[in-house]
Amino acid sequence: MQSHALDVFRTVARHGSITAAARELRYTQSAVSRQIAALEADLGVVLFDRLPRGVALTEPGRCLLPHAEAVLERLDTVHRELDALRGLGAGRLRVGAFPTAMAALVPRALAAFRDAHPQVALSLVEGRTPALLERLLAGDADLAVVTAPPDQPLDGGRFDLRHLLDERLLVAVPRGHRLARRRTVRLAELADDSFVTGSTGADDPLMRAAMPPGFRPRIDIVAADWTGKLGCVAAGLGVALVPALAVRATPADLVLLRLHPDDAPVRQVYAATVAGRHRSPAVDRLLDGLTAQARAG
């Protein structure tokens, strides 16, 4: 006896008509009639009385119906559970992350994910938050690790946002710098220092986020990546604002100072997916991994 026959039986019972069930199931009436007859022969009972207009469940038919429904429901559960497992046994996971999240947080979470689910193909794209969100909406990414300065909150309606952490800004100064012994420093105390940034002036997101009104830093050096920036700082060519996420270990030739809370609004870091879209088990699993990684620091 096959579960398909039980589905047909259930549909006929619901409609009280072989012809109507055949219509719904996209069969001819004759095929359904024969399927019911075969099921009756298999079970050795008559399941329906054939009336002039339709069919009526017999006692054995009434006995079978709840069982049929239970079996079909169970098989639905099977399919759902295997779908969930399948999502982690194969497939792809396309991730985007903003630059400083790519220093440690995201790579570590991805490495753990790959250890657990080696069959899932991973890809990681770096970008700035606005571009990453576009990728999400376009379906080119499954998940993006993004950040938002306090003055530019993310659109909570179009995205599901999982808060990962609040990111602090640090100041990198060379070990011999006059402020090297401090723990916390104010921006005003750096007014005479040259800043090493990723881009010139107001274009740099870090500088813009940290900039109180009227403060105009001197920028003599622009370096694209953190190796270059921190190298310049260590050589005494200037100081730099550094997101905590970008620091995997404190280099021996640098000192990292905290910015005073009044000078450095805290950036919030989220893992974003598109609201209302099916989320694969892999995405769910990576979300959990990122959350754990953020907690572990």
**Interface ranges with its own copies (CB under 8 A):** 1-4, 43-46, 49-50, 56, 58-60, 63-64, 67, 70-71, 74-75, 77-79, 81-82, 85-86, 89-92, 139, 276-278, 280
Residues 144-203 that bind DNA (CB under 7 A): 157
Q: Is 39 in the site for DNA (CB under 7 A)?
A: no
Stretch that binds DNA, among 44-52, 63-71, 193-201, 228-236 (CB under 7 A): 44-52
Please say which residue, 56 or 224, places its beta carbon nearer to its own copies. 56
Contact status, residue 169 vs residue 242, Cβ threshold 8 Å: yes
- 18 is an interface residue for DNA by CB under 7 A: yes
Look at residue 150 and give the partner it binds from its own copies, DNA, none, a contact being a CB closer than 5 to 8 Å depending on partner kind: none
Residue 63 contacts which entry, DNA, its own copies, none (Cβ below 5-8 A, type-dependent): its own copies
Instruction: Choose the one of DNA, its own copies, none that binds residue 188, judging by a C-beta under 5 to 8 angstroms depending on kind.
Output: none
The encoded tokens of residue 267 equal 């950036």
Choose between 19 and 194: whose C-beta lies nearer to DNA. 19
Longest dimension (CA), the chain: 101
By the rule CB under 7 A, 13 interacts with DNA = no
Q: How far is the CB of 3 from DNA (least distance, A)?
A: 12
CB 263 within 8 A of CB 213: no
Q: How many CA atoms lie within 13 A of 181 on its CB side?
A: 1
Q: Which span (16-24, 67-75, 214-222, 259-267) binds DNA, by CB under 7 A? A: 16-24
> Strand 121-126's sheet: what is its strand order?
121-126, 92-97, 143-148, 267-274, 159-167
Q: Does 274 bind DNA (CB under 7 A)?
A: no
| Sheet-wide strand order for 169-174 | 184-185, 254-259, 169-174, 240-243
Is residue 154 classed as helix, strand or coil in its secondary structure?
A: coil
The per-residue b/e assignment along 110-141, b for 16 or more CB within 10 angstroms, e otherwise, is: bebbeeebeebebeeeebebeebbebbeeeeb
Residue showing tokens 């689910």:
117
Residue 35 binding: pick among DNA, its own copies, none (C-beta 5-8 Å cut-off by kind)? DNA
Let me know: does 10 contact 68? Beta carbons within 8 Å.
Answer: yes
**Pick from 6, 9, 11, 35: which binds DNA (CB under 7 A)?**
35
Stretch that binds DNA, among 31-39, 162-170, 188-196, 203-211 (CB under 7 A): 31-39
Which is nearer to DNA, 29 or 194 (by Cβ)? 29
Spatial CA neighbour of 245 closest among 224, 266, 272, 222:
266
Looking at beta carbons, which pairs linking 214-217 to residues 24 or more positions away fall under 8 Å? 215/187, 215/188, 215/191, 217/190, 217/191, 217/193
Interaction of residue 60 with DNA, rule CB under 7 A: no
Q: Which of 69, 84, 57 is nearest to 7 (CA)?
A: 69
- Mask of contacts with DNA, 70-109, x by CB under 7 A? ----------------------------------------
The reply to whether 112 sits near DNA by the rule CB under 7 A is no
Among 6, 7, 9, 36, binds DNA (CB under 7 A): 36
Binding site residues, DNA, CB under 7 A: 17-20, 26-31, 33-38, 50-55, 157, 276
